[in-house]
Structure 1
Amino acid sequence: MGTGAGEAGRVWAHVGQRFTETGYDVVVLGAGRMGTACALFLRRLAPDRRLLIVERGGLPNEEGATILAPGVWTILDVPAGRASEARWVNAQVAGELGPLPFQPRPLLDLHAGAVPGGRSTTATLARFPEAAALINPAALPFARVDEEAATYRPGSVALACGQGAVRAGADLLLNTHAHLLPGGVRLDRLTVTNTHEVVTHETREVRAGVTIVALGADGPPAAEQDLGAHTAHGRAYRQTPRLNTPSDDRTPTLRAGGLTLRPVSGGFTLIPPVHHRDPQGYVPTGGRLTGVPVGVRRETLEDLVTLMDALPPLATEALEVGRSLADVPGAWLALPGGRADAPPTHEEVAPGVHLLLGGPLADTLGLAVAYDLAARVAGVEGRPWEEG
């Protein structure tokens, strides 16, 4: 029997729970921020549609870019003409989705040359003394301030949206690997042996009227390999080193040379810029610092070294570089259209199969694009950020 409107959905967390369903109106692959948000919005817009969320791990997805996303909302990242979407996303995260860790926190955008709206970095730091020890004003004399900026945890958004979707009637199948098929999906339910190997316990095919592929960087390859579809999307491996320089609730988020320093847990998480897509088959390789192997990939290390004069703490032991890639958190990030500056998007890559991608600008526009796809699938006209 299907889940009716107003009834909570069912959750299958392990193979001991028998799964016998054979078809759904909509199947969403991926329980990251984009997939769970799309599922939640679709349940709200079309509560009569039977919907299943499939996730290889748990809720939220532990292996994708959602967990390591910056969680920095800033109007400075918004493409022209999309400010209303971004403000709608801000409102969703700030309260509409429920009580989430959301902190208004100004962002200082630092530059070596003059920029529109910029002012003296020295004068700006008088307002933000907590950041003064991090910055060399002589190397970065110009600063813009986004007073509306905020920080949050995308993983908390994914969890809230996933739980909300289940409460609204969506079913959730965890620890399951999905393969795209024409008209549906093949589901491999995974289990762990006593030697800690992940194996397929059982396989089932499920029909789907619509399949939404929200697998992050794994989405385009899945569509290409399973369905033979062609996409122009790419991916890049982005790491998030830590800088153990003190921060607190008053410390602003900093950005210089494309590098974002996000205050987290008394220090900073470093979000390096994404310059380009990584080539097919590329395997991230650690670099060397003063001849010693480190765990930060070479491209990221070059960015950090370039900024050491402008941000002096980067040249100290406060920067964690690790001994291998395993020591420095990182994840594959989808690049819509293969571009590092492209906003989130969705596209129908095969009849009834929609690819949903967040990418580098998911913090500011991701939820709006997820809603847009949900509205399209539901056949709903108009978008809430267009009202008024």
Structure 2
Amino acid sequence: MSGQVYAHVGQPFTASSYDLLIVGAGRMGAAFARFVMERAPGTRLLLAEEGGLPNEEGATILAPGVWHSFVPPEQAQRAAVTRDLLAEALNVCGVLDLCTDERGDLVPTDAVWTPELEALVNPAALPFARLDERGGVYSVASTTLQNAQAAVQAGADLMLNVRCELAGGGRVLLQRLSVTNTHEIVVEQRISVRADTVVIAAGAAGPPLAEAGLGVVTPHRQAYRQSVRLNLPSAPSSRVIQAGGFVLRSQSGGYSVLPPILHPDPCGYTPSGGRLAGVPVGLRREVIESMLDMLDALPALADERLVVGRSIADIPGAWLALPAGGWPLWERLDDQHVLLLGGERADLTGLSVAHELAQELG
């Protein structure tokens, strides 16, 4: 029997308790909900999301969705499981990792060269490479939506447009949101529910939520990541290119350029655009500096078809969790609360970590 979907505050909600409440229906929360319902179909589960599905302001919708096997040995099993879980959602196009220094697992870039790389890469500046022919891309937003739908079809309840506040002891205050005629978001209704277990899967907002509601301070950080559009022609079969921390992947006939995350952003930071040749642009100053360092190696970054914008609002971006250690994880905060984080490398091992937690709690 399918669960209920509470999309707006006009739909009455009367439940007061659940076995499991998941705060956040992004990549990690939706996958975890699906795995729980597959493992234990009778679980009374509520999946709560502050925005829509997927949240247009969250990191899930902007995630690059690139899987490859270039991971440390201790993450290899999780990466393999994640690929298996992705199944047919993964478009196998190959992932090309380009380097300046020679190592034992690398080959000359010329050995894996294709004409398509001509406008993107300078092989003289990146003379060594490794190619994962089993690697590829997928839509994180689509898989998240499918996972949430599967969880609901298996009996989970889903509430959208709700802000959660942790009150300790498994209690969660659900603040149902609505939009006024002046486009202001307001709290329309407050409902207190209790759950045997609360899993906080709210991305970058998760650690601050736990700190505010539970008094638990974690070592996890966050950063604001932008996704830059490059209007050079691509095809679904175009290889993903990785070099110097940058990721270029085919998307909608062009490329999405994901710059490296150089450092966490401080609490209270407001993202703002930088200046290029004295002209205001939408790219962050750190992104501009990273691009300037890679212009010789990746000439595409100097192409006039790179969309730099005029202000921060012109470049899609979102807050991204930075788990301590750099990889997706879950950790118990107390007897009733668990923190689940994806972050920068969630494309590679996130689904496996969510699956592990479902097995642990199941």
Which TM-score applies when normalising by structure 2? 0.97
1:265-291 Cα deviation digits (max 9, x unpaired):
111101111122112222222111111
Match of 1:148 in 2: 134
Structure 1 contact 217–333 (Cα < 8 Å) conserved: yes
Q: Which runs of 4+ in 1 moved over 4 A?
A: none
When structure 1 is superposed on structure 2, of 209-218 and 106-115 the one drifting more is 106-115
Match of 2:80 in 1: 87
1:246-277 Cα deviation digits (max 9, x unpaired):
11133211011010001111111011111221
Q: Does 1:171 align with 2:165?
A: no
Q: Does 1:118 align with 2:106?
A: yes
| C-alpha separation in 2, matches of 1:58 and 1:293 | 32
1:211-260 Cα deviation digits (max 9, x unpaired):
00000000000000111111110011110111111111332110110100
When structure 1 is superposed on structure 2, of 209-218 and 131-140 the one drifting more is 131-140
Secondary structure of the 1:204 match is: strand
Q: 1:143 deviation in Å? A: 1.3
Q: 1:185 deviation in Å? A: 0.3
Unaligned runs of 5+ in 1: 1-6, 379-388
Secondary structure of the 1:211 match is: strand
Q: Does 1:132 align with 2:118?
A: yes
Q: Tell me which amino acid in the other structure corresponds to 2:258.
A: I
1:95-117 Cα deviation digits (max 9, x unpaired):
3xxxx4x3101111111221332
1:95-145 Cα deviation digits (max 9, x unpaired):
3xxxx4x310111111122133212222321xx221222111111111111
| C-alpha separation in 2, matches of 1:41 and 1:251 | 32
| C-alpha separation in 1, matches of 2:345 and 2:299 | 28
Q: 1:377 deviation in Å? A: 1.3
Match of 1:384 in 2: none
Query: Superposition pairs for residues 230-309 of structure 1, below 5 Å?
Result: 230-309=217-296
Structure 2 contact 17–194 (Cα < 8 Å) conserved: yes
Structure 1 contact 190–202 (Cα < 8 Å) conserved: yes
Q: Does 1:336 align with 2:323?
A: yes
Secondary structure of the 1:75 match is: coil
- Report the aligned-residue RMSD: 1.2
Q: 1:94 deviation in Å? A: 1.9
| C-alpha separation in 1, matches of 2:198 and 2:115 | 50
Match of 1:193 in 2: 180
| C-alpha separation in 2, matches of 1:133 and 1:60 | 34
- The number of aligned residues is 361
Secondary structure of the 1:47 match is: coil
Q: Tell me which amino acid in the other structure corresponds to 2:133.
A: E
Q: 1:26 deviation in Å? A: 0.4
Match of 1:24 in 2: 18
Match of 2:349 in 1: 365
Match of 1:381 in 2: none
Structure 2 contact 236–251 (Cα < 8 Å) conserved: no
Counterpart selection for 1:58 from 49, 52, 56: 52
Q: Tell me which amino acid in the other structure corresponds to 1:343.
A: W
1:69-116 Cα deviation digits (max 9, x unpaired):
11000001x221332321221121123xxxx4x310111111122133
Secondary structure of the 1:286 match is: coil
| C-alpha separation in 1, matches of 2:103 and 2:132 | 14
- Percent identity of the aligned residues? 51
Secondary structure of the 2:74 match is: coil
